[in-house]
């Protein structure tokens, strides 16, 4: 995949159907897709839950197809929660997840957050590798929505050339 094919931008209302489809197909692909439920309501209201709350949500398109996505949801003044990182199963292992992650980290710094926290299921080994290679530290394990999960966090650094 050449980078010039990739369009990375903030979520727009016209992306709603593509976001929902990508969420469901990527979740099914890794075996964490149960029946639809209230835990997915954030994806029905991205502009309010993510952007309007002081976070952000980015989408990556290749041509007309949504290839990857992810969101930042404020947890408190210093901490953003990384949510809904998804990569189209047919486009995985090509750096898209890392590209979206870097973009979200950059936006988190610009928004004034000092930390990012996230969780991923224990069966999503690819996601664990991505986060750990990007400097996220395992803090604990637990259960969410019936799945065993690992909780991660990362201290963000400002890229300030005048320091």
Residue 162, domain member (yes or no): no
Residue 31, domain member (yes or no): yes
Residue 160, domain member (yes or no): no
Residue 163, domain member (yes or no): no
Residue 64: domain span: 3-155
- Looking up residue 110, the CATH number of its domain turns out to be 3.40.630.30
List beta partners, residue 65. 62
Phi, psi of 84 (to 5 degrees): 60, 35
Buried b / exposed e across 124-148, counting CB within 10 Å, b at 16+?
beebbebbeeeebeeeeeeeeeebe
**pLDDT-derived band of residue 66, with 50, 70 and 90 as boundaries?**
very high
**pLDDT-derived band of residue 141, with 50, 70 and 90 as boundaries?**
very high
Residue 126, domain member (yes or no): yes
DSSP 106-137: HHHHHTT-SEEEEEEETT-HHHHHHHHHTT-E
**In this predicted model, what pLDDT tens digit does every residue of 7-59 receive, in sequence order?**
999 999 999 999 998 998 887 776 666 655 666 789 889 999 999 999 999 99
Q: Which two tokens stand for residue 17?
A: 């159907």
Residue 161, domain member (yes or no): no
Residue 138, domain member (yes or no): yes
pTM: 0.89
Number of separate domains in the chain: 1
Residue 90, domain member (yes or no): yes
**In this predicted model, what pLDDT tens digit does every residue of 70-129 receive, in sequence order?**
999 999 999 999 999 999 988 888 899 999 999 999 999 999 999 999 999 998 888 999
């Amino acid at each position: 995949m050449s980078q010039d094919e990739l369009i990375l931008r903030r979520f727009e209302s016209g992306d709603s159907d593509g976001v929902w489809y990508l969420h469901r197909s990527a979740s099914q692909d890794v075996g964490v897709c149960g029946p639809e439920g209230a835990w997915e309501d954030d994806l029905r209201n991205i502009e309010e839950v993510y952007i309007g709350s002081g976070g952000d949500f980015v989408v990556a398109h290749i041509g007309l197809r949504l290839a990857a996505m992810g969101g930042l949801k404020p947890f408190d003044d210093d901490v953003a929660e990384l949510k809904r990182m998804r990569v189209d199963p047919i486009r995985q292992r090509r750096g898209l997840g890392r590209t979206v992650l870097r973009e979200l980290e950059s936006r988190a710094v610009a928004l004034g957050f000092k930390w990012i926290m996230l969780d991923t299921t224990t069966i999503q080994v690819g996601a664990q590798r991505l986060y750990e290679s990007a400097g996220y530290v395992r803090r604990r394990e637990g259960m969410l929505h019936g799945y065993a999960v690992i909780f991660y966090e990362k201290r963000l650094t400002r890229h300030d050339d005048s320091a």
